[in-house]
Amino acid sequence: MSGKGFFLFVTVLILGACGTDKHHNCQFDFTKGLEKVASGVWKAEIGNPDKVNLLSELDFNPKIDAINNIEEAELPVDKAEITAEVFDGKTYIRFPLDKEEKIYGLGLNFQSVQQRGRIARLHVDHYGGSDNGRTHAPVPFFVSSKGYGVLINAARYIDVYAGTSVRKDTKNPPVLYNRNTDRDWSAQPYSDNLEFLVSAEGVELVFFSGKSMLDVVRRFNLYNGGGVLPPKWGLGFWHRVPTLFSEEQVKEEVGEFKKRGFPLSVIGLEPGWMTRAYPCTYQWDPGRFPNPEAFVKDMAAQNIKVNLWVNPGVAPDCEIALEIEPYTGTHTEWNGMLPDYSMAQTKKIMGDHFSRNAIDKGVSGFKMDENDGYDFWVAPDVAKYPSGISGEQMRQIYGSLMQSFMAGLYRRKNERTYGLVRAGNAGTTSYPFVIYNDYYNHRDFITALINSSFIGVLWTPEVRASKTSEEWLRRMQAVCFSPLAMLNAWADGTKPWSFADVEEQVRQVMMLRMSLIPYLYTTFAHYAFDGIPPVRAMCLEPGCEADPKDQFMVGESLLVAPLFAGETSRKVILPKGKWYDFYTGDFVGDGVTVSVEPGLDKIPVFVKDGGIIPMYEPMTTLPEGPVPVSVRHYGVKASSFDLYDDDGRTYDYENGVYTWIRLVADPAVASGKATVLDDGTIWSFNDYEFKFMTK
Amino acid sequence: MSGKGFFLFVTVLILGACGTDKHHNCQFDFTKGLEKVASGVWKAEIGNPDKVNLLSELDFNPKIDAINNIEEAELPVDKAEITAEVFDGKTYIRFPLDKEEKIYGLGLNFQSVQQRGRIARLHVDHYGGSDNGRTHAPVPFFVSSKGYGVLINAARYIDVYAGTSVRKDTKNPPVLYNRNTDRDWSAQPYSDNLEFLVSAEGVELVFFSGKSMLDVVRRFNLYNGGGVLPPKWGLGFWHRVPTLFSEEQVKEEVGEFKKRGFPLSVIGLEPGWMTRAYPCTYQWDPGRFPNPEAFVKDMAAQNIKVNLWVNPGVAPDCEIALEIEPYTGTHTEWNGMLPDYSMAQTKKIMGDHFSRNAIDKGVSGFKMDENDGYDFWVAPDVAKYPSGISGEQMRQIYGSLMQSFMAGLYRRKNERTYGLVRAGNAGTTSYPFVIYNDYYNHRDFITALINSSFIGVLWTPEVRASKTSEEWLRRMQAVCFSPLAMLNAWADGTKPWSFADVEEQVRQVMMLRMSLIPYLYTTFAHYAFDGIPPVRAMCLEPGCEADPKDQFMVGESLLVAPLFAGETSRKVILPKGKWYDFYTGDFVGDGVTVSVEPGLDKIPVFVKDGGIIPMYEPMTTLPEGPVPVSVRHYGVKASSFDLYDDDGRTYDYENGVYTWIRLVADPAVASGKATVLDDGTIWSFNDYEFKFMTK
């Protein structure tokens, strides 16, 4: 935030270059102005962009090499039809839309997948029940079905008119009606525009091309640092205890999991772990947690990690309150000071405090609440921050900054973390945090899961409470196929066995989640190395043009179609190619929509022809060291699957310390083999099942 | 919109004066920077305000002399505690709040009267069901219970934090809680701030003081040109016919009113009067209206005025389409071009078209629909207008511009008009348009009526349809005590007699409306000359500190407390002083809250002690020429009432062509007299009732 004198000079110069004042059009020429930064990635700098943008304050490296490995693709759009100009202190941007073109992305939406026809103001906020742009991750990135996408890289509230506005000079005018007498009159005439308005005197645009929408998304994810690779334990089952639980109560609850044979990887403590919350001290309450270090060790001895709730506001009686005060914003949140996490001093002071109180005591990570806002919180837009970041900018990146900060604390210890966060934006793809919220519509939770795959964020449809055992089981089934499988019982005190009549079914799907860790871990490795979202919208799957709101892909081969309370059957859209029932191996269909009636016990899961699914043997906690893996093969196609493995907990994999094991199966000869690619070790296997040990 | 080169120069100069770039604080000093413009009115120019603001494009004159006649009052706020600065391209404004201070105004809200505790973004829009700033008249003017108010004169979306934000450096910090254990913890800590954020590099503020909140509002209204004085016929009963009615059908419907003895002053035609609507030609459909001039004359002969629906979009087959095209915005609305009504050329072209097609044919006025927006309409914020006005600015003033334009067309003929509009803002107080909308919650309609009194606009809780005859009657009763008493049957085809079991009660309250015209006309004269809102919130009434959402004052003496469907009784807050039942004259209470059970037939109306209510004799249409008036006096106090009269239809009253008739009544001697103040004519009367003739 330095060099302000120079900044003023540049401002005037650029205005001057446009030949007049701020009301003049500074038209940008996209036929000439795109700067290539990697294969299928171009930048355009319109006007005089803000110094602070969605990526500028974050710590990650774009994975340019991996981007360059993706098949080359031109921008499938007439650049002369794209316009951008600075006017009235704002940046106006327009992309042309073809008749059949579909638009995806534009934030973590909960009720819609395809976005053409929508008007939104992208604005970090808790989700309020309608897809109007206010959401936990209003990532200003769209993916077009034509095979390109654009990031509007501005830490600003961004207005979007996605195929709603009609220009007077359009080449594709809507039909002219007379509402008096034409029944076809529509309140929303045809529009060939995708228009954006950014409240800044310039903006950086980043264009991504791809032979498929998936390739566009991959390039976007890799540009944002590539996906997170969680520690293996992060992919197990999570449970959060009621807010005022003491260490004895937590131990009892953990014991109950063991006694009942329910899996558990991570136990989450809520605000009551601290002496004060809302605002926070981030210091252990000596009454409820007299010996936190021993408590964390005790959990670790049972292969259970401890995760702690925090929110942004620093209490006046926090040990470092006086020290942090100069690096906090003008406004408080529930009496808490709001650290400016863009500043080195803040990271040092808060980092030392979190390390001393939690990380160095073995705490595995955090649930970072309420950095999404809601206008009453985080601080109003009239707030200012000591770095010079404005309230509006900070609102758009506060969650990103907290993610970057916390990830950094673990990274410097060479320990991976995995946790939860209420806000993200572009640039957070590589950070080990999964978004959650207070909303609780199960259908919408699944739609959010699908939408997360367009915009480089992760989402969990966490389970909290349910009205019926049916709803409980349906929610548990779905969350076990998400990036973070969690029962968040902070308010309700529910347990996985709270609904006795479905206790065994819940246990079974939780056990299945544990078993799927090898498959999921490889899935995340492809997120990290190749930018492929671990959970994907159906329209990112080859052979599928549909965009249902209630089914999704997990990893390479699994198609998950959850049921919701009250349903006994549902439609499932199967992309082209043969699909098989995950539980029975039976053929289900090929490029058709089928109706399934799975019964209450099962969540419908389908496997692509040739799908190879490596699975752990049943277990309730994830031990350190090697774990036996068994492998399933589905369908009739001879196929292979490269299973990723590493130490599961450090960043050494970034320096090449990992293994790929090639699993090959050929149903024609009913046998297969596994080859460790780096040392050439080979195992044979028959009947599409064999066992070996992971690291 | 000329002088752009100079404008740029000023911009740079002012930035220079602040010594740095846009991220620097340009703190404004309110202890020195207020410029007095009238008694109790001061301006402050923060930073470099936009050339276009809420008032700059409108045609009206502030009534400075009338403002100076209001009792002088200092600003009851510590000016050193008010702050304003330009930062990040926006203007930040802060006013201090006292512990008990209440805040009113801030737009046409429908669900709340007191605004402290609210966060809003003031933004012209259709009302969407919550008081979040998006409304038909989001006037950025607040009135404080301390006795001052401020207009933030910016044609911008304005963020408001009304007693919600807490500054770190506050002198009045909220109590520090621990949510873990303190039950008193609140999600909304105490705030001593009223903060605004305006997305412009400067803004004009206009401060208004007053010995009472009413005086603050009066100064605001007079600064905005003073209130409208409608033509007398505008205060009668209005009815709108179904959209595709032909002139024969309209005549039949009007005949039915006469046959059944229902009053009617204005008949409204909906889109079907035109050859094409959505977009509009504004030309009579020769099929449905073969002879519009004769039709209008026929109505006039029955003392019935004709009002026409229009909306902003000009159809490509409108006669003046080619001519107006250069003066329309970049984007269309339902295929219609949007005239830039800030431009002289637009006013000429559209004015000639409206005059030729409607006004010169005797049409009395318009219902101007859909200029409020809804983001899909009016045009997106990415639109631009040929005058240089941006989409955001135009959204905030489109309704105001249409009002100014239409009022001007009638003014140049020296004929008053009265009509309807969907959008207004500061500066429209003197324009002859009443706001209406598509929302239809009866309680909220009444709350809007109350809120209109703080912000210098008029609102009608129009009746459309009802589920039950009870609801029908309750809505009819309430609308008859509003600025525009209308049944808007465009979609439903309802008639006042549609619910047969309450037909007579509906007729009675419509007849009462007609009778009240002399009282209402004087009430509006006080709006025009003295800035007193004709319908007023209770907290603008001396002796009342309560701010109920469901009762209001009409004129000097009437307190109206409508019932809503499902209610048989209700509470009524009576300010200090004696109050009497309007229908019986019985004493009801003094400074107390009473419960009333009026029965279905009556809407509870109360009269202040000494209240003198001049009323027309029963009649169904308002004839030209003198009309007999009878007078009622209520209570025990000897009192007087100055009855306003003029020709009822021209602007000659602005040149002094009007009469005040002083009505004096003394119950101690059971007699009174009326004195025409300008010629001294005196009538005596007894038993508080006498008759005389208006002009």
Sorting pLDDT into bands at 50, 70 and 90, what band is A87?
A: very high
Sorting pLDDT into bands at 50, 70 and 90, what band is A682?
A: confident
Would you list the DSSP string of A580-642?
A: EETTT--EEEESSEEEE---TT---EEEETT-EEEEEPS-SS--SS--EEEEEE-SS--EEEE
Sorting pLDDT into bands at 50, 70 and 90, what band is B13?
A: very low
Side-chain half-sphere of A186: how many Cα atoms within 13 Å?
Answer: 10
Classify B148 as helix, strand or coil. Answer: strand
Contact B270, B242 (CB under 8 A): yes
State the Cα angle at B226 between B236 and B60, rounded to 5°: 105
Q: How far is A177 from A258, CA to CA, in rounded Å?
A: 68
Residue of A nearest to B173 (CA): A335
**pLDDT tops 70 at residue A471:** yes
Contact A304, A254 (CB under 8 A): yes
Please tell me the least confidently modeled range out of A377-386, A555-564, B56-65, B162-171: A377-386
Q: How far is A205 from A414, CA to CA, in rounded Å?
A: 34
Q: How far is A636 from A633, CA to CA, in rounded Å?
A: 9
Chains A, B: CB contacts under 8 A, how many?
202
How are strands ordered across the β-sheet holding B134-135?
Answer: B83-87, B90-96, B193-198, B158-162, B118-124, B134-135
Sorting pLDDT into bands at 50, 70 and 90, what band is B323?
A: very high
Sorting pLDDT into bands at 50, 70 and 90, what band is A690?
A: low
| One-letter identity of residue A296 | V
C-alpha of B387 from chain center:
28
Looking at residue B26, what is its pLDDT?
Answer: 64
Comparing CA positions, the residue from B533, B424, B426 lying closest to residue B141 is B426
Say if the Cβ atoms of B335 and A174 lie within 8 Å: yes
Say if the Cβ atoms of B179 and A334 lie within 8 Å: yes
Q: What is the mean pLDDT of residues A30-39?
A: 96
Contact B684, B670 (CB under 8 A): no
Comparing CA positions, the residue from A424, A283, A310 lying closest to residue A368 is A310
Q: Shortest CB distance from A92 goes to which of B161, B279, B382?
A: B382
Q: Is the reported ipTM for this assembly greater than 0.90?
A: yes
Say if the Cβ atoms of B176 and A7 lie within 8 Å: no
Residues 6+ apart with CB under 8 A from A615: A515, A516, A518, A519, A629, A630, A631, A632
**pLDDT tops 90 at residue A26:** no
Please tell me the least confidently modeled range out of A25-29, A305-309, B52-56, B323-327: A25-29
Cβ neighbours around A579 below 10 Å, total = 25
Q: Which residues pair with A171 in a beta bridge?
A: none
**pLDDT tops 70 at residue A673:** yes
Looking at residue B333, what is its pLDDT?
Answer: 93
Looking at residue B379, what is its pLDDT?
Answer: 79
Say if the Cβ atoms of B277 and A201 lie within 8 Å: no
Q: How far is B694 from B628, CA to CA, in rounded Å?
A: 7
Sorting pLDDT into bands at 50, 70 and 90, what band is A692?
A: low
Q: Shortest CB distance from A179 goes to which of B21, B119, B271?
A: B271
**pLDDT tops 70 at residue A23:** no
**pLDDT tops 70 at residue B12:** no
Looking at residue B248, what is its pLDDT?
Answer: 98
Looking at residue B7, what is its pLDDT?
Answer: 33
Instruction: Render pLDDT for B484-513 as a digit per residue (tens, 0 to 9).
Output: 999 999 998 999 999 999 999 999 999 999
**pLDDT tops 50 at residue A9:** no
Q: How far is B668 from B662, CA to CA, in rounded Å?
A: 19
Instruction: Render pLDDT for A359-374 as a digit per residue (tens, 0 to 9).
Output: 999 999 999 999 998 7
Q: How far is B593 from B608, CA to CA, in rounded Å?
A: 15
Q: How far is B65 from A77, CA to CA, in rounded Å?
A: 62
Residue of A nearest to B197 (CA): A382
Say if the Cβ atoms of B179 and A277 lie within 8 Å: yes
Give whole-number Cα distances, A22 to A262, A358, A586, B90, B543, in Å: 63, 50, 66, 14, 51
Comparing CA positions, the residue from A300, A235, A239, A258 lying closest to residue A616 is A235
Say if the Cβ atoms of A119 and B375 lie within 8 Å: yes
**pLDDT tops 50 at residue A142:** yes
Q: Which residues pair with B671 in a beta bridge?
A: B666, B686
Helix, strand and coil content of chain B, in percent to the nearest 5, comes to: 25, 25, 50
- Residue % of chain B over a pLDDT of 70: 94
Sorting pLDDT into bands at 50, 70 and 90, what band is B692?
A: low
Looking at residue B23, what is its pLDDT?
Answer: 43
Chain A interface mutation, best of B122, B179, B370, highest count of A Cβ atoms under 10 Å: B179
| One-letter identity of residue A673 | K
Looking at residue B543, what is its pLDDT?
Answer: 84
CA distance A194 to chain B (A): 11
Q: How far is B191 from B116, CA to CA, in rounded Å?
A: 10
Instruction: Render pLDDT for B526-570 as a digit per residue (tens, 0 to 9).
Output: 999 999 999 999 999 988 989 999 999 999 999 999 999 999 999
Contact A648, A633 (CB under 8 A): no
Orientation angle between helical segments A344-357 and A391-411, nearest 10 degrees? 50
Contact A450, A552 (CB under 8 A): yes
Give whole-number Cα distances, A47 to A158, A305, A572, in Å: 16, 49, 47
Domains in chain A and their CATH numbers? Answer: 3-223 (2.60.40.1760), 612-692 (2.60.40.1180)
Residues 6+ apart with CB under 8 A from A322: none
Q: pLDDT averaged over chain B? A: 93
Cβ neighbours around B99 below 10 Å, total = 7
Contact B258, B302 (CB under 8 A): yes
Chain B interface mutation, best of A331, A394, A397, highest count of B Cβ atoms under 10 Å: A331
Q: What is the mean pLDDT of residues B305-311?
A: 98
Classify A2 as helix, strand or coil. Answer: coil
Give whole-number Cα distances, A599 to A470, A474, A505, B167, B202, in Å: 11, 11, 11, 56, 64
Q: Shortest CB distance from A197 goes to which of B11, B244, B382?
A: B382
Chain A interface mutation, best of B376, B397, B490, highest count of A Cβ atoms under 10 Å: B376
CA distance A190 to chain B (A): 9
Sorting pLDDT into bands at 50, 70 and 90, what band is A681?
A: confident
Instruction: Render pLDDT for B37-71 as a digit per residue (tens, 0 to 9).
Output: 999 999 999 999 999 999 999 999 999 999 999 99
Q: How far is A22 from B14, CA to CA, in rounded Å?
A: 15
Chain A residues in contact with B173 by the CB 8 A cut-off are 335
Say if the Cβ atoms of B329 and A168 lie within 8 Å: yes
